């Protein structure tokens, strides 16, 4: 049986117009504990009618609640109170997140702090926000006015859901938008804590709304809704393509962070201990279910054999266990469907001739749930499916290269372009490679450590647009220019004679 944390609701409801409500038609779906695949609660399954209610509530709040017109400092005060409420519930958020997602508790204990920091960051940003002005001598003054776009549709993924929900909610609300959030159906638990936090912080009813449900139903209805002018989505590339097609008729503003198959390039002169640690972190932390995972490790041939050996030895020592155990390093994958997908990639890699170094199967001591050993494949070539397709699990492909040009060619030999990592002590080479690798974000001699001021997003099949820092505010606001003629006369005349 599932060992659910205390206070888990028997039904996770929608939150619309400041009230917890079931689906209009009464539909629900079961939510599974990844460690046992036992249904531990049910959630309201939103349909088009529920999305209509939520969008109507958000539109009314945008028009009448005063949120959109609130002074930035006052709105920042609300965001900081949201952050306070999140931090106060940190000891509840972490076990709920770990239980619902299968992520090791030790790796989600900081999620509340990271989520709170997202709200504090955007609270600070809007207080110091400026609007541009351009003066043309003494005859014309041109100035920019920012206005929130309206109802923002936010569709979030199932990996680290609480933090990623805050990543979208904070800038959308800071900008003055009202929101309808559609969380991922596989991990709806932790977001159910937000309504109480937001109400306590003073967010007006209708400004923040949640509609749970299946993507093809609730998500699609949100994407197509004519009163939602702006959409932010994080998820797989195929879903992003569907969203783009379905949003086209409404000419909606889109920001989409999509799939990745990110390269981690390790040259022979790198700090190999640090590079090895980073490679392990990049593909095995968070169960490998991370968008920026360095899942293709490209290693210079002179150090290749030794690096593969060490990587395999380290991976084989990982403790795979129950997500709630503090000593667990790799927990359970999110859902049996995803587990089957990942295992399918492992089987295909073996069938295509990639060399299995370690892992590739369920641990003997964990017969139930979605557990998989950390898996290392070596001698992976561009002809292997594992080199090209996103796995989103604890599976890494290692490939040798002979020189810098080949490293860059292999790194770019993918439809994706989200993240990349380069390890070398030759700064000139590091900067050369950084400029040539096709990725929206690149870390040189570092793994995924982010500054919230910087743009986040991918290129190619990894996304459309960037968020982060001022770019997020730009996305959720319209910038309107006012041209004011301030001179006495002097405007050019058209037609006729004088």
Residues involved in catalysis: 257, 291
Residues ≥6 apart with Cβ < 8 Å to 282: 262, 264, 292, 293, 294, 295, 421, 447, 448
Distances (CA, A) of 269 to 273, 422, 425: 11, 11, 6
Q: How far apart are CA 326 and CA 476, in angstroms?
A: 39
Residues ≥6 apart with Cβ < 8 Å to 474: none
Distances (CA, A) of 83 to 109, 116, 173, 289: 16, 4, 13, 26
User: Residues 351, 354, 359, 360: is their CA dihedral positive or negative?
Assistant: negative
Name residue 234's beta-bridge partners.
257
Q: How far apart are CA 377 and CA 357, in angstroms?
A: 6
Burial class (CB in 10 A: 0-12, 13-18, 19+), 413: middle
Strands (E), 156-275: 178-182, 208-210, 230-234, 253-257, 263-266
Q: How far apart are CA 267 and CA 430, in angstroms?
A: 9
Alpha-helical (H) ranges within 34-110 are: 48-64, 72-88, 90-101, 105-108
Contact 4, 100 (CB under 8 A): no
């Amino acid at each position: 049986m599932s060992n659910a944390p205390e206070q888990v609701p028997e039904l996770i409801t929608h939150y619309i117009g400041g009230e917890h409500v079931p689906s209009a038609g009464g539909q629900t779906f079961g939510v599974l504990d990844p460690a046992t695949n036992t249904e531990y609660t049910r959630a309201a399954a939103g349909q088009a009618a529920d999305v209509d209610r939520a969008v109507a509530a958000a539109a009314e709040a945008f028009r009448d609640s005063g949120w959109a017109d609130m002074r930035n400092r006052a709105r920042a005060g609300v965001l900081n109170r949201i952050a306070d409420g999140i931090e106060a519930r940190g000891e509840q958020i972490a076990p709920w997140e770990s239980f619902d997602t299968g992520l090791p508790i030790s790796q989600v204990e900081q999620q509340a702090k990271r989520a709170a920091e997202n709200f504090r960051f955007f609270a600070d940003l809007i207080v110091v926000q400026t609007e541009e002005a351009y003066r043309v001598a003494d005859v014309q003054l041109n100035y920019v006015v920012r206005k929130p776009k309206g109802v923002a549709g936010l569709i979030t993924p199932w990996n680290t859901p609480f933090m990623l929900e805050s990543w979208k909610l904070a800038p959308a609300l800071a900008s003055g938008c009202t929101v309808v959030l559609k969380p991922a159906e596989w991990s709806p638990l932790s977001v159910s804590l937000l309504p109480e936090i937001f109400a306590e912080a003073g967010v007006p009813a209708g400004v923040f709304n949640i509609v749970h449900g299946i993507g093809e139903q609730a998500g699609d209805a949100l994407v197509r809704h004519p009163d939602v002018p702006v959409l932010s989505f994080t998820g797989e590339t195929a879903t992003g393509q569907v969203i783009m097609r379905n949003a086209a008729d409404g000419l909606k503003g889109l920001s989409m962070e999509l799939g990745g198959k990110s390269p981690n390039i390790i040259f022979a002169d790198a700090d190999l201990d640090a590079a090895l640690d980073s490679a392990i972190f990049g593909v095995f932390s968070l169960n490998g279910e991370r968008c920026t995972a360095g899942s293709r490790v490209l290693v210079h041939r002179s150090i290749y054999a030794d690096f593969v050996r060490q990587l395999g030895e380290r991976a084989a020592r990982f403790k795979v266990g129950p997500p709630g155990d503090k000593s667990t390093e790799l927990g359970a994958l999110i859902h049996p469907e995803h587990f089957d997908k990942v295992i399918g990639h492992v089987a295909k890699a073996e069938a295509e001739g990639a060399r299995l170094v370690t892992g590739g199967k369920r641990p003997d001591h964990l017969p139930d749930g979605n557990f998989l050993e950390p898996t290392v494949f070596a001698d992976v070539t561009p002809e292997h499916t594992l080199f090209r397709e996103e796995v989103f699990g604890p599976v890494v492909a290692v490939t040798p290269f002979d020189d810098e040009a080949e490293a860059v060619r292999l790194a770019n030999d993918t439809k994706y372009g989200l993240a990349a990592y380069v390890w070398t002590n030759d700064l000139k080479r590091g900067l050369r490679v950084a400029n040539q690798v096709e990725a929206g974000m690149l870390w040189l001699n570092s793994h995924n450590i982010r500054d919230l001021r910087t743009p986040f997003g991918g290129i190619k099949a990894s996304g459309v647009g960037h968020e982060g820092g001022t770019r997020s505010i730009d996305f959720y606001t319209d910038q309107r220019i006012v041209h004011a003629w301030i001179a006495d006369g002097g405007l050019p005349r058209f037609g006729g004679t004088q």
